[in-house]
Amino acid sequence: MKISFFSSKSYDRSYFNRFNTSYQLKFYDTDLSLESIDLLSDSQAVCVFVNDQLNADVIKQLAAKNVKIIALRCAGFNNVDLQAAKAHGIAVVRVPAYSPHAVAEHAVALILTLNRKTHKAYNRVREGNFSLERLTGFDLFGKTVGVIGTGKIGEAFAKIMKGFGCRVLAYDLQPHPDLVALGIEYVALDALFTASDIVSLHCPLTPQTNRLINADTLQQMKPNAMLINTSRGGLVDTSAVIKALKTGHLGYFGIDVYEQEADLFFHDLSESIIQDDMLMRLMSFPNVLITSHQGFFTEEALCQIAQVTFQNIRDFEAGQLNPSTTLVQP
């Protein structure tokens, strides 16, 4: 089988080539879209990432080119029209559980950096400035942390914060018994917002969670609270966050994802004029930390992504798709 990879980078080529045993791989730097779909030739499988847009029109064209399976090398699938895939008989698989610790630990890194201002201290010391002025942080011990979404990543994050000595509140439609046994409290969403010193998002992007963080929910949060998003950019109304930062109500904002990241993240734009005014406004705040969707980016996660993706395709060929990784049966 020939597999075409879109939105591929050097690390995709490295890890997928390392674990490939039988497939013909073709890598494209460009995103998959109607404009790039003509690159496909004789591929029965496409492997895509978070910013490839597989809407109904794209999927129709994939079907016309005899593509039989869409393999997501990520956990999220909000960028794929699953109904269209089902209508055209195209299987859709994903990697739902690649090293959840990678993303959870990155969320903790954002918290610690924003709190203790290590990024600012690092730059100061390199310039010979050893002053501690304006580097004051706070103890995580004893603080209340709200976790929205307790799937595998949210579970790992909640356990880490419990280890810091935090009181951990959680919201999920399906409470996790193991977390309850550890003393993590499941509460209503409103109660989580009003009680938490730190709120971290670990839920998928769905019509129900779109703009979960908005003017109303931000107002419910404690003054000077910290908001962390390592899940999907669409969970957050960025304009509302900017207003909350300007008034001082929101104390800290750390993100590894951004709603309009498709034309920004994963690219070197250091010699370009960035046209996204909201992102540039966010970057102007001293209490905002932005990383470019690198939460997944560990050796363990990249190995797991490649291995599970290939296993998904082998299962498809054998007619034995794994229910835990399959979104659409052909």
The closest of 229, 153, 219 to 198, measured between CA atoms, is 229
* Shared-domain flag, residues 262 and 307: no
pLDDT value of residue 76:
87
87: Cβ contacts below 8 Å, ≥ 6 apart: none
pLDDT, averaged across the chain: 96
* Shared-domain flag, residues 105 and 94: no
pLDDT value of residue 262:
87
Give catalytic status of residue 232 as yes or no: yes
Q: At what angle do helices 299-317 and 10-19 cross, to 10 degrees?
A: 60
Over residues 78-136, the pLDDT tens digits come to 999 999 999 999 999 999 888 899 999 999 999 999 999 999 999 999 999 999 999 99
Three-state DSSP class for 292? Answer: coil
* Shared-domain flag, residues 104 and 252: yes
Over residues 123-179, the pLDDT tens digits come to 999 999 999 999 999 999 999 999 999 999 999 999 999 999 999 999 999 999 999
pLDDT value of residue 329:
95
Choosing from 73, 155, 232, 259, which is the catalytic residue?
232
User: Residue 208's domain spans which residues?
Assistant: 100-290
First CA to last CA distance, the chain: 17
Confidence of residue 310 (pLDDT cuts 50, 70, 90): very high
**What integer is the mean pLDDT of 209-223?**
98
* Shared-domain flag, residues 28 and 72: yes
Residue 201 has pLDDT above 90, yes or no: yes
For residue 170, what are the β-bridge partners? 147, 186
Three-state DSSP class for 191? Answer: helix
Choosing from 73, 94, 176, 293, which is the catalytic residue?
293
* Shared-domain flag, residues 311 and 270: no
- 245 within 8 A of 253, measured Cβ to Cβ: yes
* Shared-domain flag, residues 182 and 219: yes
- 324 within 8 A of 96, measured Cβ to Cβ: yes
* Shared-domain flag, residues 31 and 119: no
Residue 41 has pLDDT above 90, yes or no: no
Choosing from 167, 261, 271, 300, which is the catalytic residue?
261
- 106 within 8 A of 230, measured Cβ to Cβ: yes
Give catalytic status of residue 299 as yes or no: no
User: Structurally, how many domains does the chain consist of?
Assistant: 2
* Shared-domain flag, residues 9 and 20: yes
* Shared-domain flag, residues 58 and 141: no
* Shared-domain flag, residues 31 and 168: no
* Shared-domain flag, residues 155 and 260: yes
Over residues 240-274, the pLDDT tens digits come to 999 999 999 999 999 999 999 988 999 999 999 99
pLDDT value of residue 191:
98
* Shared-domain flag, residues 189 and 303: no
pLDDT value of residue 115:
98
CATH number, domain containing residue 257? 3.40.50.720
Give catalytic status of residue 317 as yes or no: no
